[in-house]
Chain A
């Protein structure tokens, strides 16, 4: 059974959650025009989820997931067009052991984390952004991405090892 979403409902969702979507896109893309375009694209993808979300918490989880992924893809595509030879992050160990505190310290620098995230494999990027840049907990990241906390810890461990190797390789 389906029902059309009324214009009033769409308008209300855009008015309520548009600022949060725009703020996220602006933070990721920085360029104003690109942020506005991305906001609309992301809203169209999100509108059904926003309509069903019973609370703002769940709505924001969807926003973080969809908007972050969309914008990181945009950044990756732009970076490839600008610098096709930019090195990807090195392949790190895929073990599930917990990373060291040293790599945590490395990623305490949010700007560095941003730059490293842009180079990371797709399945790690959004989780890394939500954790290192947005300051969300493992549990919140898991909720946003529909994954378990254990999986998020695993992903972040992979990301940290790759980031450490990448930075070490760049400094050689």
Chain B
């Protein structure tokens, strides 16, 4: 069994890159590889999105509680010599790994074709509220879109959602021109089926057009499909109220079991 397959970046290399601990030259090599390798770029962007979600949403909400609950004592032992199970070969190898970070770029498996995130089997039946995030890409930077965020025409956006207990999802928006667009399923006739309890990532990106002003993007989760026409009419009603109506309307009047929205400004 071969060990090293110099084709892709390992998870260790990607995490070190995002932590800023890969070293200048290895980091440059890694970024060049990411730009050239669609598979690694996709993995890197997915990892980057998770990092952003934690930093922007999870950490602010949980840090105080985690700090309070952690309250632990730790044995103040020096690194070397006080861990009887730490062998010399492990210590030396770890040091070598840390010092020869360039080698980390070449540690990989020859990944096969990456399966889409939407799986048909082994539904986990995990309950909980659905969640919906929007991420934008501008040049090489990927970032989480917060409510009210300022975006530019040409920015590419992707959706990520957790279905919770929902079975169907429809993503649609109303923009300042009063135009309702069904983003997911793209130009579809009704909500698309999603696996309950699973995570979904729309594999395609949507490039924002030149229309300036507010655009509110709705994620409509439901146990039954909602007709796109119903959603479009409800969104158009919001649009008729003008830009302030779009900014001030976090909900749309449709039979969704759960809905959330994000306002973007162009």
Q: Which residue numbers of A lie inside 8 Å of B, CB to CB? A: 1-5, 7, 10-11, 14-16, 18-20, 22-23, 26-27, 29-34, 36, 39-40, 43-44, 47-48, 51-52, 54-58, 60-61, 64, 75, 78-79, 81-82, 98-99, 104-105, 108-112, 115, 118, 131-132, 134-140, 143, 146, 153, 156-157
Contacts and interface: CB of A to CB of B under 8 A. Distances in A.
B55 interface: yes
Interface string B1-31: 1011000111110011011010000000000
B210 interface: no
Contacts of A79: 122, 124
A5 B67 CA distance: 10
B18 A139 contact: no
B58 A36 contact: yes
A15 B19 CA distance: 11
Interface in B178-194: none
Contacts of B114: 110-111
A27 B198 contact: no
A10 B211 CA distance: 46
A15 B66 CA distance: 11
A11 to B, nearest CB: 5
Contacts, number: 207
A138 to B, nearest CB: 5
A30 B199 contact: yes
Contact of A31 (B112, B119, B162): B162
A20 B66 contact: no
Contact of B11 (A15, A134, A157): A134
Interface in B93-136: 93-94, 97-98, 107-115, 119, 121-126, 128-129, 131
Given A19-B54, A23-B50, A57-B94, A11 B19 contact: no
B59 interface: yes
Contact of B50 (A7, A26, A111): A26
A2 B112 CA distance: 48
A108 B198 contact: no
A14 B62 CA distance: 10
Contacts of B74: 2-5, 47-48, 51-52
